Amino acid sequence: MLGSDLVMYEEEFKQIDAELNRLLAQANAKVVFLVDKNGQLIAATGETENLDTTSLASLTAGNIAATGGMAKLLGEKEFSILFHEGQRDNIHISIISQRVVLVVIFDQRSSLGLVRLRVKKSAELLSGIFSELLKKVETGKGAAAGGDSPFAEITDEDIDKLFG
Amino acid sequence: MSFINYSSREINCKIVYYGPGLCGKTTNLQYIYKKTNPDSKGKMISLATETERTLFFDFLPLALGEIRGFKTRFHLYTVPGQVFYDASRKLILKGVDGVVFVADSQVERMEANLESIDNLRINLAEQGYNLDAIPFVIQYNKRDLPNVVPVGEMKKGLNPRGIPDYEAVATDGGGVFDTLKSIAKLVIMELKQGQPG
């Protein structure tokens, strides 16, 4: 899907948010978040108050990109799962539909096996939501459903205002 | 590739600072970081070597305010400038919305500038982008140094199309925000044109 913008609408966002919350509970995880492969945070849930999720999202994408580069050199399509083990917290990272990245942070209250199992289930569901979303964006239906495009009326002044 | 979230009413765009090694890409970001209101910036992340050369990328999220009720965020990235980090440079260009090319104005770096801008064109093409078609501005950095190439000559070599370009001294901030503002504007205008229906 080169060149197309990632667009998120209310309806899909709610579905995704619900699924992440379910995964959080079922996997006994601390934090679950979803990142676009380019590093944009899509949704996050769990103990995120003291977590710099924006930076984590960007670094996750960098991590996935670097690992993808390694895969290519080895003739693999991708390494779809990454796992980082720490003393206290662990991170499980998986690629969904080759486009978004699901990140689960968990501690000793859970286990790698449980996380893997639950992630697999959620991945299928999230994959479905994203293919629906892509269809919606391609047909342009979403824009109509979401009201007028916020960009159509942007002026130079609007942009100047951003910089005070 | 920007991310438009109608649910949280946010627009996120990705801007990449490109250029030869030691041209001042990281310095640009550091200045922006230093001068931005703490409420509107996130942490700046630098994946650098022990000698402070960029190893993978620098990352600075900037929340600039609202446009038509949408929170506008720019994610600024730099690439590692050194020639042998080309594999990493390609990765960072993925999903880019706008590119700033930072040129080193010193006479002895002119060749490195030309090589880097060629490299940019090739790496973008590999990702399916055309440098002539995406938002793109050039910054002639280090104008305070004694041995600089005249701007006219730099334009001839690096900017034959006459895209927006700026003189800068990134260490003291001269031209840094002009450059950022210019690329931000181009990226947002592109969003405006790219909207379906």
CATH code of the region B3-194: 3.40.50.300
Helix (H, G, I), strand (E, B) or coil at B127: coil
In this prediction, does ipTM exceed 0.85?
no
Per-residue pLDDT tens over the stretch B126-160: 999 999 999 999 999 999 999 999 999 999 999 99
Q: How far is A82 from A105, CA to CA, in rounded Å?
A: 12
CB-CB contact of B136 with B130 (8 Å) = no
For β-strands B136-141 and B165-167, DSSP reports them as parallel
pLDDT at position A146, please?
46
**Of B57, B129, B177, which is closest to A62 when you measure between CB atoms?**
B57
Judged against a pLDDT cut of 70, whether residue A143 lies above it is answered with no
DSSP state of B149: P
The alpha-carbon gap from B142 to the nearest alpha carbon of chain A, in Å, equals 24
Q: What is the rounded distance in angstroms from the CA atom of residue A69 to the CA atom of residue A79?
A: 10
Domain boundaries, chain B: 3-194
With a pLDDT cut of 70, the percent of chain A lying above it is: 91
Which of A5, A62, A151 shows the shortest C-beta gap to B56?
A62
Instruction: Count other C-beta atoms under 10 Å from residue A70's C-beta.
Output: 13
Q: Which of A12, A69, A140 sits opposite B91 (nearest CB)?
A: A69
Q: Identify the weakest region by mean pLDDT among A22-31, A134-143, B18-27.
A: A134-143
What per-residue confidence (pLDDT) applies to A101?
96
B26-61 tens-digit pLDDT: 999 999 999 998 888 888 999 998 888 998 999 999
Q: Output the CA angle A56-A130-B62, nearest 5 degrees.
A: 35
pLDDT of amino acid B197? 36
Query: CB contacts < 8 Å between A and B, how many?
Result: 136
Any A CB within 8 A of B42 CB: yes
- The structure tokens listed for B71 are 């929170």
Contact between A159 and B67 using a beta-carbon 8 Å cutoff:
yes
Q: pLDDT-derived band of residue A6, with 50, 70 and 90 as boundaries?
A: confident
Chain B nearest CA to A85, separation (Å): 20
pLDDT, tens digit (0-9, with 9 covering 90-100), for B170-182: 999 999 999 999 9
Q: Write down all domains in chain A, each with its CATH number in brackets.
A: 10-162 (3.30.450.30)
Query: Residue B196 pLDDT more than 50?
Result: no
Confidence tier at B195 by pLDDT (50, 70, 90)? low
| DSSP assignments along chain A, one per residue | -TTPPEEE-HHHHHHHHHHHHHHHHHTT-SEEEEEETTS-EEEEEES-TTS-HHHHHHHHHHHHHHHHHHHHHHT-S---EEEEE-SS-EEEEEEETTTEEEEEEE-TTS-HHHHHHHHHHHHHHHHHHHHHHHHHHHHTHHHHHT-S-SSTT--HHHHHHHT-
B184, A160 in Cβ contact below 8 A? no
Q: B61 pairs with which residues across the strands?
A: B75
CB contact (8 A) between residue B128 and residue A2: yes
User: What pLDDT was estimated at residue A149?
Assistant: 64
What's the confidence (pLDDT) of residue B191? 85
**pLDDT score, position A145:** 44
On chain B, the residues whose CB falls within 8 A of the CB of A60 are none
